Amino acid sequence: SQELEQSPQSLIVQEGKNLTINCTSSKTLYGLYWYKQKYGEGLIFLMMLQKGGEEKSHEKITAKLDEKKQQSSLHITASQPSHAGIYLCGADLGGGFKTIFGAGTRLFVKA
Amino acid sequence: EAGVAQSPRYKIIEKRQSVAFWCNPISGHATLYWYQQILGQGPKLLIQFQNNGVVDDSQLPKDRFSAERLKGVDSTLKIQPAKLEDSAVYLCASSSVGGGANVLTFGAGSRLTVL
């Protein structure tokens, strides 16, 4: 969706390195979701952010929401091969719980 | 808790043929979504149901795609006739809205190849 822009499109990192993925919305965010998708599988929910300045962490993954900038970032610390996959941000931009997604960031982790 | 079930997982058809995909959401989830994910792209919302009513189908190509959710549980997505550009993974998701959050649970998807 052009309403949600993700960067970078793909990323190759060495195992153990940190990385950041960004998601920028063209509209006001009512809720920002991060999902992960492995090849050939459905999406798995990671985290949801609702308020500006909110930050959540799960294991080595941290997500932040900058409401004023209509932007969210996903940061992975000390990447592992298990982190490889496609990370997608999703948002309910118009209310009504109609969730749209960005194009995704493809992460490759070199062992 | 059982997840979202989809079938078939894979389908290969020739253009102009028809195909149908089935989805069984998580029990009690009122909202059901069908997404189309073309290789290398993010999921695109095709249709959203609330119970057995359509909330949004603005992105559904209605000349060839149809979807229904009888009795507010299972759902079927049909394509007739299929075109080459319909080759994609069709993802079904369901959710139960609470606390302003709408976390989707996805099925594994149905991969369609149109030759």
More confident residue, B100 or B69: B69
B85 touches chain A (CB under 8 A): no
The helix (H) or strand (E) run that includes residue A86 is: strand A85-92
Closest A-chain CA to B4:
A42
pLDDT at B1 over 90: no
Work out the pLDDT band at B89, boundaries 50, 70, 90.
very high
pLDDT, tens only, A60-84: 999 999 878 789 999 999 999 999 9
Task: Give helix then strand counts, H and E, for chain A.
Answer: 0, 11
B24 touches chain A (CB under 8 A): no
Q: Quick check: helix, strand or coil at residue A9?
A: coil
Minimal Cα–Cα distance from B9 to chain A, Å? 10
B64 touches chain A (CB under 8 A): no
B33 touches chain A (CB under 8 A): yes
Contact call for B104 and A45, based on CB within 8 A: yes
Work out the pLDDT band at B71, boundaries 50, 70, 90.
confident
3-state per-residue secondary structure call for B73-114: CCEEEEECCCCHHHCEEEEEEEECCECCECCCEECCCEEEEE
Q: pLDDT under 70 in chain A at which residues? A: 1, 94-96
Contact call for B42 and A103, based on CB within 8 A: yes
pLDDT, tens only, B40-67: 899 999 999 998 899 999 999 999 999 9
The pLDDT of residue B42 is: 93
Minimal Cα–Cα distance from A78 to chain B, Å? 26
Minimal Cα–Cα distance from A18 to chain B, Å? 24
